[in-house]
Amino acid sequence: MRVAATLRVNGTDYPVELDPHISLLRAVREHVGLIGAKEGCDDSECGACMMLLDGQPVNSCSYLALQAEGREIMTVEGLAPPGELGPLQQAFLEHGGVQCGFCTPGMLISAIALLARNPSPSDDEVRLALSGNLCRCTGYEGIVQAVLAAAAADGG
């Protein structure tokens, strides 16, 4: 049994027909076609699937897609126009916050949520905000420095 729904992703409405049990991650990847968010653990442990839901970070692998109907979903693809980098993405490149890249979409989403609620975070606040995101390359120092640099460049 499929259910008709509309998912609003990065400001665009996508009419979809979904199985009621499908996760937000799978719906966005398979039905909307945005593949930036990754499935790492499928258990809300790694943060690779992080998306913003009404401005709040959620592990989309453990969130039902139908629960997101009528809400604003933002994926990493929504952080900047196609072919461009947003300030935080640029800071990740400049400060070595990207290594293999698997964790990067989730890190960016968690960092955007942090900077939206606290435009001038401390080192410890950045680390706490990113604590739900695992980096297997141990690139945390570059990631933290990138978030702090983006905050400083934005006037934080």
Contacts for 96-102 with beta carbons within 8 Å, 24 or more apart? 96/139, 96/142, 96/145, 96/146, 97/139, 97/142, 97/143, 97/145, 97/146, 97/147, 98/139, 98/142, 99/135, 99/137, 99/139, 99/142, 100/136, 100/137, 102/38, 102/40, 102/48, 102/136
- How confident is the model at residue 156, as a pLDDT? 59
Torsion region of 8: left, alpha or beta (phi above 0 gives left; psi -120 to 50 gives alpha): beta
- Considering the domain architecture, whether residues 48 and 20 belong to the same structural domain is answered as yes
- How confident is the model at residue 71, as a pLDDT? 98
- Considering the domain architecture, whether residues 32 and 96 belong to the same structural domain is answered as no
Domain boundary among 52, 79, 106: 79
Q: For all residues of the chain together, what is the average pLDDT?
A: 95
Total domains, the chain? 2
pLDDT tens for each residue of 40-68: 988 888 999 999 999 999 999 999 999 99
Contact of 135 with 90, CB cutoff 8 Å: no
- How confident is the model at residue 97, as a pLDDT? 92
CA gap 146, 78 in Å, rounded: 19
Instruction: Work out the average pLDDT over 67-93.
Output: 96
CA gap 115, 109 in Å, rounded: 10
Range with the poorest average pLDDT among 98-102, 104-108, 110-114, 136-140: 136-140
Instruction: Work out the average pLDDT over 105-125.
Output: 98
- Considering the domain architecture, whether residues 118 and 66 belong to the same structural domain is answered as no
Global pTM?
A: 0.94
φ and ψ at 14, to 5 degrees?
-120, 110
Domain boundary among 29, 44, 79: 79
Domain that includes residue 68, residue range:
3-79
